[in-house]
Amino acid sequence: MPGAGAARRGDQLRVDERAVALGGVQQGDAELEGTVDGGQGFGLVGGAVEGIQQDIADLAAQLAEQHLTNGHLAATPYQRETQRYGGPGAIGAAEAVFAADSALVRTLDTPAAARPRPTPAALRRRRETLRPQCRAAAVPADLTDLWSTLLDTLTAYRPLLTDDVAPLCASDLIHMHCNRLLGTDRDHEHLARSLATDLLRRA
């Protein structure tokens, strides 16, 4: 499932039905419009959700105000990326990870904002500044439950993956987590991956 991530100026945003039901949106290839086409409902999984149209319209307006999109919004059906996340036997568990990760990210104070692209040297300096902080970091008390839920879903997901696809699925999960947390910022995603690799090597 996609997550709520910032887009760069001129990018477009797709809102998937299941993603909305689970609280996430994803960058895609459909334009953002301020209202749903013709004022029709989204036909969400589990039934219509009152107020969702206005919530999504507000999101479109916020992104437009930050010059991150053109301010148009359209709804498209959710399409499972079944093979990408391990096949029919694993996709349900993967979607549980998506939902848990989205719930965690929504609580974090990481407002989207347009940022200039850093130079490689600046990224290296930033990585070295953050490395000791990451090594010493602990999960804040108010996030413990959400963090535990995410770990539980990941623990349930892993046994459903074959060893040959597990690394690819892990990489895709990291990518989507960064989209939710950082927006479509590939430089900062690379920085996050580098810091995560450092932590794994020390584990």
Q: What's the pLDDT at 109? A: 64
Query: What residue has token string 């319209």?
Result: 57
In this prediction, residue 143 has a pLDDT band, given cuts at 50, 70 and 90, of very high
Low-confidence winner among 69-78, 94-103, 113-122 (lowest mean pLDDT): 113-122
Distance between CA atoms of residues 153 and 106, nearest Å: 17
Cα end-to-end distance, the chain, whole Å: 28
Strands in 13-16's sheet, in edge-to-edge order, are 26-27, 13-16, 75-76
Strand partners, 75: 15
Instruction: State pLDDT tens for residues 173-186.
Output: 999 998 888 877 78
Q: Which candidate, 78, 59, 60, places its Cα nearest to that of 70?
A: 60
Burial category of 64 from C-beta neighbours within 10 Å (exposed 0-12, middle 13-18, buried 19 and up): middle
In the chain, the percentage of residues whose pLDDT exceeds 70 is: 67
* Length reported for the chain: 203
For all residues of the chain together, what is the average pLDDT? Answer: 74
Model confidence pLDDT, tens digit, residues 145-163: 999 999 999 999 999 999 9
Higher-pLDDT residue of 69, 115: 69
pLDDT tens sequence across 56-95: 778 778 777 877 667 677 777 888 999 999 999 999 999 9
pLDDT at residue 116, as a whole number: 62
**Given a cut of 60, is residue 33 above it in pLDDT?**
no
Mean pLDDT across 168-177 = 93
